[in-house]
Amino acid sequence: MELEKFYYDNRIVRNFSIAAIVFGVVAFLVGLWIALELRYPQLNGPFSWLTFGRLRALHTNAAIFAFVGNSIFAGIYYSLQRLLKTRMASDLLSNIHFWGWQLIIVAAAITLPLGITTSKEYAELEWPIDIAIALIWVVFGVNMIWTILKRRERHLYVAIWFYLATFITIAVLHIFNSLALPVSMLKSYSVYSGVQDALVQWWYGHNAVAFFLTTPVLGLMYYFVPKAANRPVYSYRLSIIHFWALIFLYIWAGPHHLIYTSLPDWAQSLGTVFSIMLIFPSWGGMINGLLTLRGAWDKVRDSAVLKFFVVAITAYGMSTLEGPLLSTKTLNSIAHYTDWIPAHVHIGTLGWNGFMAFGMFYYLFPKMYRTGLYSEKLANVHFWLGTLGILFWALPMYISGFTQSLMWKQFNPDGTLVYSNFLDTVTQLFPFFFLRAVGGVLYLTGALIFVYNMIKTATGGKFLAQEEAEAAPLAPNYEAHKGDHWHRVIERKPVQFALWITIAILIGGVIEIIPTITVSSNIPTIASVKPYTPLELEGRDLYIREGCNACHSQMVRPFRSEVERYGEYSKAGEFVYDHPFLWGSKRTGPDLHRVGKKYQGDAGAVWHYNHMWDPQEMNKESIMPRYPWLFSLEGNDGTLNTSSTEAKLKAMQTLGVPYSDEYIANWQTELEAQASIIAEGLNKNPDIDVEPNEEIIALIAYLQRLGRDIEKNEVVQKQP
Amino acid sequence: MEIIFVLITVSLIIALIFLSAFFWSVRSGQFDDDYTPSVRMLFDDETKKEETTTKS
């Protein structure tokens, strides 16, 4: 067999690497900023786009899709070519993938601070960007699969299996979770509502962790750890077994994000069972990664690359043990909604994802720039700063989570709550908030040293864009036509064909099926639960715009401590008109599902009015920011935009919310009537002068409605 | 909760895709040899023998 000469494309690897590093620093900076805002809410000043509620989504999206995403692509484009002994199939597709992905990130960086969001975690981007993501993702997949078909190495190394699973699963998850009915270019409503929306969201959300932050990074581990250690992986057989086990189990674990919520118990248990089973394949990966270094631990002492990998894999092992434990009801009842969850997540992202990426870049830059690493010493400094950063981040948050959870549940002997004021359980955590920011500073400092090291390495070397390589083509194993392209395609056709057909059917068919199903399921099981009024609906959209759900849940769990604190526990039937659901996942502030009852009538409206204007004036230690832009005061224009109210109501009607055509036609009368009642009530207070058309009125209308329908009559459980 | 049936169907279809990929890989001999691939990936012979000494 003749050796064929070809060139690896290093340029695309370099581009993705640079993007990953730049956006990584941005993600860390935003993270540090919002960590400080959690302690000093005044930091955002008069700027709405600097608040925690809006920037939290920017931070998570930047970390997941910009930093880790670009790192993954860099690693995949580097390793795929070498494992398959071929250049990427199409430079054009590579470039479209690169620039398309960066444009999506820029679009996210603009829209999220402006409050353009769907509110669904890690899927906050609005529908036009979602479509762009789907298209670019397909470009990536086609390029990868095409390259695989062109390969010169028959065996697909285990890393490639991980890449393939990533592509297929993320495509499906993204499409299903993003199904929404557009109202305008920048606004849409999830086709699912309430419990159903929550289930789809966390089916997606957990698998985003599984198939975006885990499987591709495991693929990178299987390439870069053996390469850096110059040792074969500990057990190739184990890698095959744990790969198949992992991808079959992961997709079922999503409901563990909804334990003790209104999701039916059996679905919660399903999530728990699969989560616990996941320990085995996850630890298969950890063991395989760490044992690859057996007999080579002396190299770890000398190589910063391997140091990063060892801590990354250890962090992976720890968080994949912690995850299943948190999926049990006992631990979940303590940890959920507290700082324990961010601690768990950051062990995964800072430790596993971040350190895998850093190790990989320390390995890649000298390779691509044909030189040695500029400074091994600085890399070691980065390693220790990063490791300390992770510990300073996570350990205080573990303590903080435990502390707050126990305070929430603490009862006096007479049966009343010891800490009935939620704020008392927050002020207790201030020292830990401070330590977390210290952790962030350490991690960021390490990352900046890393950037310097990479720049010096790059400028000290000479970039090799086209790396020459030689390999024999695949032996055609069934026909005499040597290297005949057509036959090679036909040879694999049945499997490929079936695969593409399945995906096509899946997408097409289900897009039709889902709306029908969700519409018919919107029959309320609680008769007194009614759709939102136009004003409340607009208020709800303001709640979404400001990202209130980043800090406030709307899900009272059936615990004595929560019923005592908030009121009646939340029922599935109360959320049937909630497109999207707003249960939240973190209680930096108190749960709001029963806040309607707590602050009702004119007095309640005045409380909300004053509180949104200046929370610190009402509670000196409150860490909620001010929302002056909701008011037409001090030069602000807080006029509620009602230009798409009718379109919103119509969209809701299409989704199955029972608004009559007549009701929609009269939306304006309805809205203005409700607004003037609230405004009149507020204006009775001598210190308040408010117009009915201000945004704050709509928000108050929504907040006062929250969780109240259930009071009107007894719960009627209709049989479905 | 009808959505769970959709999700289960979709999850099963993904699982079936993976299952067919698994059968394909076994039948086409992907896993006949479960040792040499792990060693082979270590050898990226560079055609141009430039010095790429790292300071490790």
Task: Specify the CATH number for the domain of residue A565.
Answer: 1.10.760.10
Residue A99 domain-assigned?
yes
> Is residue A432 domain-shared with residue A552, that is, in the same domain?
no
Among candidate residues A451, A463, A306, the one with its CA nearest the CA of residue A374: A451
Distance separating alpha carbons of residues A71 and A76, to the nearest angstrom? 9
CB of A182 within 8 Å of a chain B CB? The answer is no
Query: How many Å lie between the alpha carbon of B28 and the closest alpha carbon of chain A?
Result: 9
Task: Specify the CATH number for the domain of residue A432.
Answer: 1.20.210.10
Residue A260 domain-assigned?
yes
> Is residue A267 domain-shared with residue A367, that is, in the same domain?
yes
A226 to chain B: nearest residue by CA?
B42
B17, B22, B42: which to substitute to probe chain A, counting the most A Cβ within 10 Å? B17
Distance separating alpha carbons of residues A522 and A197, to the nearest angstrom? 12
Residue A510 domain-assigned?
no
Res A524: pLDDT: 54
pTM score, two decimals? 0.90
Query: How many Å lie between the alpha carbon of A95 and the closest alpha carbon of chain B?
Result: 25
- Among A415, A434, A467, which residue terminates a domain? A467
Residue A689 domain-assigned?
yes
Integer CA distances (angstroms), A314 to A218, A387, A420, in order: 13, 12, 40
> Is residue A79 domain-shared with residue A221, that is, in the same domain?
yes
Count of the separate structural domains present in chain A: 2
Model confidence over A181-221: pLDDT tens digits? 999 999 999 988 888 899 889 989 998 888 999 999 999 99
Residue A33 domain-assigned?
yes
Task: Please count the CA atoms within 13 angstroms of the CA of A219 that sit on its side-chain side.
Answer: 31
> Is residue A111 domain-shared with residue A222, that is, in the same domain?
yes
Task: Check residue A415 and give left, alpha or beta (phi > 0: left; psi -120 to 50: alpha).
Answer: left
> Is residue A438 domain-shared with residue A584, that is, in the same domain?
no
> Is residue A429 domain-shared with residue A543, that is, in the same domain?
no
Q: ipTM of this model?
A: 0.76
For B:8-37, CB contacts with A below 8 A are 10-11, 13-18, 20-22, 24-25, 29-31, 33-35, 37
Model confidence over A681-698: pLDDT tens digits? 999 999 999 999 999 999
For A:474-533, CB contacts with B below 8 A are 495, 498-499, 502-503, 506, 510, 513-514, 517-518, 520-521
> Is residue A429 domain-shared with residue A572, that is, in the same domain?
no
> Is residue A50 domain-shared with residue A129, that is, in the same domain?
yes
A79 neighbors A224 (Cβ within 8 angstroms) = yes
Distance separating alpha carbons of residues A540 and A546, to the nearest angstrom? 10
> Is residue A596 domain-shared with residue A461, that is, in the same domain?
no
Residue A507 domain-assigned?
no
Residue A120 domain-assigned?
yes
Residue A474 domain-assigned?
no
Model confidence over A526-577: pLDDT tens digits? 888 899 999 999 999 999 999 999 999 999 999 999 999 999 999 988 998 9
> Is residue A457 domain-shared with residue A539, that is, in the same domain?
no
Full residue range of the structural domain in which residue A611 is found: 534-711
Residues of B in contact with A192 (CB under 8 A): 3
Q: Which two tokens stand for residue A311?
A: 């801590």
Residues of B in contact with A264 (CB under 8 A): 1
> Is residue A561 domain-shared with residue A436, that is, in the same domain?
no
- Among A467, A483, A505, which residue terminates a domain? A467
Residues of A in contact with B6 (CB under 8 A): 176, 510, 513-514, 517
Among candidate residues A675, A710, A666, A667, the one with its CA nearest the CA of residue A576: A710
> Is residue A576 domain-shared with residue A701, that is, in the same domain?
yes
- Among A411, A437, A467, which residue terminates a domain? A467
Query: How many Å lie between the alpha carbon of A378 and the closest alpha carbon of chain B?
Result: 13
10-residue mean pLDDT series, chain A (720 residues): 89 97 97 94 90 96 97 97 94 97 97 95 94 94 93 90 91 87 92 89 89 96 96 93 89 90 87 94 96 92 95 96 96 95 96 97 96 95 97 96 96 94 95 96 98 97 92 68 46 52 54 52 70 96 96 96 94 91 95 94 94 93 94 90 94 92 94 95 93 95 93 56
Distance separating alpha carbons of residues A405 and A407, to the nearest angstrom? 5
Distance separating alpha carbons of residues A67 and A71, to the nearest angstrom? 6
